[in-house]
Amino acid sequence: MRPHIKVNDMGHLTIGGVDAVKLADELDTPLYVVDENRIRERYREFYSAFSSLYPKVEIKYAYKANTSLAVLHILRQEGAGADILSEGELYIARKKIGLEAENIIFTGNNKTDRELELALEEDVIINIDAVHELERLIGICEEKGKEAKISFRVNPSVSPMTHPHLATGLRKSKFGIHEEDVIKVYRRAKDSDYLRILGIHMHIGSQITSTQPYEEATSKLFDIVGKLKRVLEIDLEFVDLGGGLGIRYERDSPYITPTDLANALIPIIKRKIKEHSIEEPTLYLEPGRYIVGDSSILLCRVSTVKQTPYKKFIGVDAGFHILLRPVLYGAYHEAVIANKMNQEPVERVDIAGNVCESGDILGRDRRLPNVEAGDVVAFLDVGAYCIIMASQYNSRPRPAEVLVRDGKYELIRERESVEDLLVKQRVPRRLLE
């Protein structure tokens, strides 16, 4: 079991010192539960792993993993900046969380002109993903008469050895500028009167569980930094290594810690700095999943137990509209019966969601105790890419979210009502006649 998830004297699952069955009874299901202390613990673990070995380190939390406002404020208190990808994330980071512009890097691919204009107006770092985007930004800067702070996202052509949908640093990936074009784009930026070059960026993928891809990509990236110094006399203020460090979804799955990663990368970085005679840049890191992934559980209630001639299904009041990863990636989330934690598994079942799709299976061939209607199923490690991906498919309202800490809980997201499903819709008057 995860260190912050325990079993109490009643045989119930607890998280953050709160009985999960009590939460399900009092707040209804489905329900996302977030452990505040676990987020703080993981952030500090990640930051200290690198800052203990390198003097200038900044964490830019990857907003796309989870943008629940309470979570973002926790990370702001811890000192995290933001890696953002959209107009919405820019608004949240600046207007709702109150981060300073210099603590935000706007990456994202296929940015619209509106997004570039807003990023320029807010004075955040714009991380350029394509040559065409560079030219559009220069045009916008000239029109507005305003300087942009920029970096470039480089594609290092490295396989992160992860799910194909999560690999962003491959040669054929849609992301980033390839090495053969790097000098060209930095020269173009240097020649512009409206761009201030600050750094360079890469992000090779997500749910990475080996240091080897990071080592290869980091070595390549710092060779490019050296080339920029040698050819264009550009000294970069920061080098952004991206994020992507994985978590252990299954108990025996491969796993590396932030300390493992820092121990592997910092010697390479120091060696390359010396080899290329470059000034020591600030190191940016963009963890998302690692910080929030195992902080949360999803509680749902068993509504139907269905035995067919071929398989037994445990039907719950949740579906892929609120837990998409199993369907989208074939991802595994450990499932336990929160009110029967001390009972031994006696059968193998599929946990079926309530969305009207054959693929809506949240857990296949899971060994569980005898499951009955009314039992509470808890899916673990749902803090990243789960509530953020939730939808209203099948006209089902999105769930509530609660924050737990030291035996107490606070509601941080209200459960949607059926009226919320329709709040932005408009019907032409002629159709009502």
- Tokens 């789960």 correspond to 386
Separation between Cα atoms, residue 295 and residue 383, nearest integer Å: 6
Cα 336 to Cα 329: distance, rounded to the nearest angstrom: 21
Rounded Cα distance between 40 and 228, Å, is 37
Residue keyed to tokens 């932030």: 258
Do the beta carbons of residue 34 and residue 412 sit within 8 Å? yes
Q: Nearest Cα to 197, choosing from 212, 182, 207, 211? A: 182
User: Which run of H or E residues covers position 210?
Assistant: none
Give 408: exposed, middle or buried? Use CB within 10 Å, 0-12, 13-18, 19+: exposed
Among candidate residues 141, 300, 356, 386, the one labeled active-site is 356
In the chain, how many H helices and how many E strands?
A: 11, 21
Token code pair at residue 40:
């703080």
CA distance 206 to 34: 21
DSSP 94: I
Residue 151 β-bridge partners? 127, 199
Is 300 labeled as catalytic in the residue annotation? no
The answer, yes or no, to whether the previous bond of 30 is cis (omega within 30 of 0) is: yes
Task: Round to whole Å and give the CA distance between 288 and 242.
Answer: 10
In terms of DSSP bridges, do strands 57-62 and 81-84 run parallel, antiparallel, or are they unpaired? parallel
Instruction: Give the distance between the most distant pair of CA atoms in the chain.
Output: 77
Cβ atoms 123, 100 nearer than 8 A:
no
Between CA 325 and CA 165 the distance in angstroms is 11
**Which residues, including other chains, have CB under 8 Å from residue 43's CB and lie 6 or more apart?**
59, 61, 75, 78, 80, 291
List the catalytic residues. Answer: 356
